[in-house]
Amino acid sequence: MQSYNLKHIKELEAESLFVIREVVAQFEKPVLLFSGGKDSIVMLHIAYKAFYPAGLPFPLLHIDTGHNFPETLQYRDELVARLKARLVVGSVQESINNGRVAEEIGINASRNVLQTVTLLDAMEEHGFDAAMGGGRRDEEKARAKERFFSHRDEFGQWDPKNQRPELWNLFNGKKYQGEHFRVFPLSNWTEMDVWQYILLENIPMPSLYFSHYRECVNRKGVLLARSEFIKLQKDEKWEKMKIRFRTIGDMSCTGAALSDASSIEEIIEEVAAARQTERGTRADDKRSETAMEDRKREGYF
């Protein structure tokens, strides 16, 4: 007998499809935030399905910190060409040049926080009224409280104590001119779901996710890859290690993990056995207990 029961990955996909279509139906000028990380890759994959055989009805927005892994940029450009998508780039370097933000100083200087200003400026410049992000509720405790449709005021701020209740599949995207929404179609996915879906759908991934040899420095337990952005401190040295990245952000704050996983199957095995959250390797979350919430309030991803 035919079973009328959707398996969980397909149910999550159906939910994300619905949310992405709802964004296009409710907003005038949506955009999809594309970082080149696995979550935004999966979100884009689902978005493409949502409108097929029509093309993507919105552009992709990449906030380029200038500290990206070269592999990320290459992957981004190939994917954009393959999907015939439109790409808008917001440049943190430009924000610095224009005096909108000042470069951080100190040994752990990063452009992570600066991205928020560039993001909000890009949204304003292009008149985007909804930005879809790959954030998931299982990633971080402040994100566990996030809505699918998350309202931002005219300053792009998030007010976590005063969020609109969100019931059933009825998403309230009403807003005033100048305000915008962040939308998280993958809210209910876990890291494991994302990898399982990548395997199921056979989605090509950036090489950074697979095990490779790279020179890294061990800074208080975070393995940072060698680049012009990382300056060695006293008693630190570059060491060749077999690593992969569990999340991909800036070269200045994304830590690598020692790993032999060289295929999606092996990554899944590793994720299943992992005893650390994926963001455990992110230096940007380690700044304080509420680092994520503080940044999100200001308008971070």
Give, as ranges, the residues between 136 and 175 that touch another protein (CB under 8 A). 137-138, 140-145, 160-161, 163-172, 174-175
User: Which one of 82, 103, 124, 200 is in contact with another protein (CB under 8 A)?
Assistant: 200
Question: Binding to another protein by residue 49, rule CB under 8 A?
Answer: yes
User: Which one of 95, 110, 187, 211 is in contact with another protein (CB under 8 A)?
Assistant: 187
Question: Binding to another protein by residue 29, rule CB under 8 A?
Answer: no
Question: Binding to another protein by residue 1, rule CB under 8 A?
Answer: no
User: Which one of 7, 231, 234, 237 is in contact with another protein (CB under 8 A)?
Assistant: 7
Residue 125 buriedness (CB in 10 A; 0-12 / 13-18 / 19+): exposed
CA distances from 60 to 103, 119, 149, 188 (A): 26, 12, 18, 22
Site for another protein (CB under 8 A): how many residues?
A: 73
- The residues in 262-291 that bind another protein, with binding defined as CB under 8 A, are 264-265, 268-269, 272, 274-277, 280, 289-290
Looking from the CA of 49 toward its CB, the CA atoms found within 13 Å total 15
H or E segment and range at residue 120? helix 115-126
Q: Do 20 and 36 meet the contact criterion of CB atoms below 8 Å apart? A: no
H or E segment and range at residue 152? strand 149-152
Question: Binding to another protein by residue 82, rule CB under 8 A?
Answer: no
Nearer to another protein, 105 or 170 (CB): 170
Looking from the CA of 73 toward its CB, the CA atoms found within 13 Å total 11
User: Which one of 28, 53, 234, 235 is in contact with another protein (CB under 8 A)?
Assistant: 53
